[in-house]
Amino acid sequence: MELTWNTALSGVETSGIRRFTALARATPGACTLTIGEPDLDTPAPIRAAAQASLAEGDTHYPPNNGQPWLLEALSQYEERAHGLRYAPDEIIVTAGATEAIFIALSAILNPGDEVVIPTPAYSLYGSVTMLCRGVPVALPTENSGFQIDPAALAAAVTPRTRALVLTSPNNPTGCVYTRETLEAVHAILRDRPVFVLCDDVYRELVYTADYHSFAEFTDMRDRIVAVNSFSKPWAMTGWRVGWCMADRPVKEKMQVFHQYAVSSVPAFVQRACVTALETDTAPMRALFQRRRDDVCARLAAMGLETQTPEGAFYVFPSIRKYGMDAEAFCKRMLKEGLVGVLPGTYFGAEGFVRISCCYGDEALREGLDRMERFLKTL
């Protein structure tokens, strides 16, 4: 008897980020700078709110899309902090941004539909697209300062294009799309039946005053899905809570997948999420901006070409001058230099590596010291 599998799994692998991180952690004495997770614990008031919720017996099924008071808090927060107007019934509380992206693409795509993904990009987008039987279409940005080239985007859009993914700040580059870039994208897509998936999970970790989200283009509201998460700015990665916002008809399609795949986010964490929305993210932002500055200065001293990130907590230096492909470079540096960083190929960009700046200061110094010693051997 021969078992068969879902053919959508063909060509979809487990995360290269996770595989390489596991390799680094299994290497005796290695220093790992691979994972995008704040080194800080969730702030005490947020943890206390969850503990109080448990003590009060908040252990029963909550409404599928989230508690009404959390949806109201998210609606108010988005308008107050970012000028985005979504009613509580246009929001779904999800199991992290990952689920939000999954249910959005599940609702949007039919077999063979194309999703344009500016690269470098988090591999999740391409993998989820394929699991939804869509076709990921890479849009390289390495030669345009990691901004989207309008002519390249126009050429990438076809009659089969169903969605464009925008991540700003970007993982892995830290690039923030300029207003000019977003306006050019808007001009190309405003009269096309193409959805725009705005993955804004690093929005609270922006180091420039001039930040805009594509979700601000209200004339395309019927085709925009805005995704966010509690993970990064509030150090809540292990809580697995995010949210997505969309025009009511779009949200109603997405919630079908949400209800049957996840049902709901656990009840007792939702009160803590309200507390998070009331917790200032400025200290977290200042910490990662300082670390970004420190890492960029060290890389410049090593002679590595690096575009200064304007957000998130990654640096993406070029290693092209060493004449090695990125994965070979990273594996050799792990073996010989005992420091782990990620190949840019895991994000669709050859000739780069991603360094995570969200490790502690001592770990960053040690990792960069080892990297510098390794580079001197090449």
Region 130-135: mean pLDDT is 97
Determine the pLDDT at residue 162.
98
Determine the pLDDT at residue 336.
96
DSSP count for the chain of H helices, then E strands: 12, 12
**Residue 302 CA: distances (Å) to CA of 220, 299, 345, 357, 375:** 45, 5, 22, 17, 8
Whether the pLDDT of residue 97 is over 90: the answer is yes
State the pTM of this model: 0.95
Cα(137)–Cα(16) distance, integer angstroms: 19
Report the percentage of the chain scoring pLDDT > 90: 98
In this prediction, residue 7 has a pLDDT band, given cuts at 50, 70 and 90, of very high
Q: What is the mean pLDDT of the chain?
A: 97
Whether the pLDDT of residue 118 is over 90: the answer is yes
Domains of the chain: 8-37+281-375 (3.90.1150.10), 44-277 (3.40.640.10)
Instruction: Name the residue among 268, 248, 255, 329 with its Cα closest to residue 102.
Output: 255
In this prediction, residue 173 has a pLDDT band, given cuts at 50, 70 and 90, of very high
Determine the pLDDT at residue 11.
87
Tens digits of per-residue pLDDT, 228-264? 999 999 999 999 999 999 999 999 999 999 999 999 9
Region 336-356: mean pLDDT is 97
